[in-house]
Amino acid sequence: MSLVDCELEVRDLQHWLTDKALEARDGGELLTALGDKLGEAGLDVSRLSVAWRALDPLTYAQYITWTKGEPLDSGAMSHADNERRDGTNSVLRYIVENEIEFYRADLTQPEQPYAHLASLRDEGFTDYVGTITKFGRGHIDHGVMRGVFFSFCTRAPGGFDKATLDAVMDLRPTLALAFRALNETSSAEALARTYLGPLAAGRVLDGAIRRGDAEVIPAAIWYSDMRAFTPLAEELTLDETIAFLNEVFEATAGAVGDAGGQVLDFIGDAVLAIFPIEDDGIRRALRALDESLERLAKIRRRILTSDSPPVMVASAREGLVGIALAVGDVRFGNIGTPRRLSFSVIGPTVNMVARIEALTKMLREPVLVSAPVADLAPDRFVLRGAFNLEGVRDRRALYGLARR
């Protein structure tokens, strides 16, 4: 193939890759199509892999690997796994530290400098190229590289010929741009779910982004608040306070999320969440309540049976948390200023559930629920009386947990 023919071939591949990137649903579909297309073009590439840093509280990095004739492989590395691994001995680290464009390895050699390359050698690959394409300044906060790591291999005897190597290297910017678009979309979705919750995130990403964009939905509403948090915050160090607060949130908000509820706000040491009625909301709320009480009991046992600070012991003896559940219509959507919005719920039932929770401490009840919740599980709740709630017109019947 002449030089002109090679240039035309690469240009055609770049145009094809651009079009494919616009229609691909995800990176796996795109990488699979690229691997197949390279083969159709007569370029002997047996393996393609792309890896990138994730902007996600649980995931450190993600990767997708296409290998000719094998199922697509994709996965993720958690932040915890990354902290445990030795990241100093890798092709990626070598490229970054030496500021080189790419790293090439002859995989036919018996000795390989990195375990990953030795593994590829054992799988029958003969040549390897790894390269980084950076985005923008190349870094974000804390010195984390922003870009994609792209590697490709062949099983061809003698490794890559010059035409194949040049063609694939010339595709890097287009491939990186495609993955940047795909990854930033997935990052936006992950961040929206993290900070808004899955239901609110879906609404926002579907276009509900203006103040007043809202709908009225019936829901079971959860409100929980820590007991004796003020003395805890005064007596413990800031790090100790945050660690304990997160542990309690895992017992409350974590249980809500696991049961399919939507955590909307962490209000200081309180949690506001909803369970839409159309999604079997009350039963889900009751499942969350059971799980939360079990988790809180474990925390209390740990505190009361260990050498915990007196202020934590006092909080544990008070039950750690008060929980209230009520049912009603809420306005679910954007509130705030035109430039600074919160996607949350407002309405009389939201105010009422907060007032109900405030009574849990006074009545020395870990849980209080309204009649619609108690009616669904009459064997679990007993009437504690009818009470005046601040800002609520009529007295409301409230139910506590039946003694077992």
CATH of the domain at 314: 3.30.70.1230
For residues 132 and 223, membership in a common domain is answered with no
Q: 372 in helix, strand or coil?
A: helix
220 shares a domain with 188: no
* Same domain assignment for residues 228 and 273: yes
Q: Which among 295, 297, 357 is positioned nearest to 325, based on CA atoms?
A: 357
* Confidence tier at 4 by pLDDT (50, 70, 90): very low
Which DSSP symbol is given to 44?
A: -
pLDDT at residue 94, rounded to an integer: 87
Instruction: Please tell me the distance from the alpha carbon of residue 111 to that of residue 121, in angstroms, as a whole number.
Output: 10
Total domains, the chain: 2
Residues 177 and 225 in one domain: no
Looking at every residue in the chain, the average pLDDT score rounds to 91
Question: 12 and 133: one domain?
Answer: yes
Q: How confident is the model at residue 145 (pLDDT cuts 50, 70, 90)?
A: low
Please say whether the beta carbons of 349 and 227 come within 8 A. no
pLDDT tens by residue, 105-126: 999 999 999 999 999 999 999 9
Q: What is the dihedral of CA 299, 304, 307, 312, to 10 degrees?
A: 70
| Band of pLDDT at residue 88, cut at 50, 70 and 90 | low
Same domain as 17, residue 68:
yes
CA separation for the pair 365, 302 (Å, rounded): 21
Mean pLDDT of 218-227: 97
In this structure, are residues 67 and 60 in contact, taking their beta carbons and an 8 Å threshold? Answer: no
Confidence of residue 1 (pLDDT cuts 50, 70, 90): very low
Q: Are residues 163 and 189 in the same domain?
A: yes
Query: What's 60's domain CATH number?
Result: 3.30.450.40
Question: Same domain for 183 and 211?
Answer: no
The whole domain housing 257 covers 204-401
Percent of the chain whose predicted confidence (pLDDT) is above 90:
76
Query: What mean pLDDT do residues 327-344 have?
Result: 94
Give yes or no: residues 137 and 216 share one domain: no
**pLDDT at 300 exceeding the cut of 80:** yes
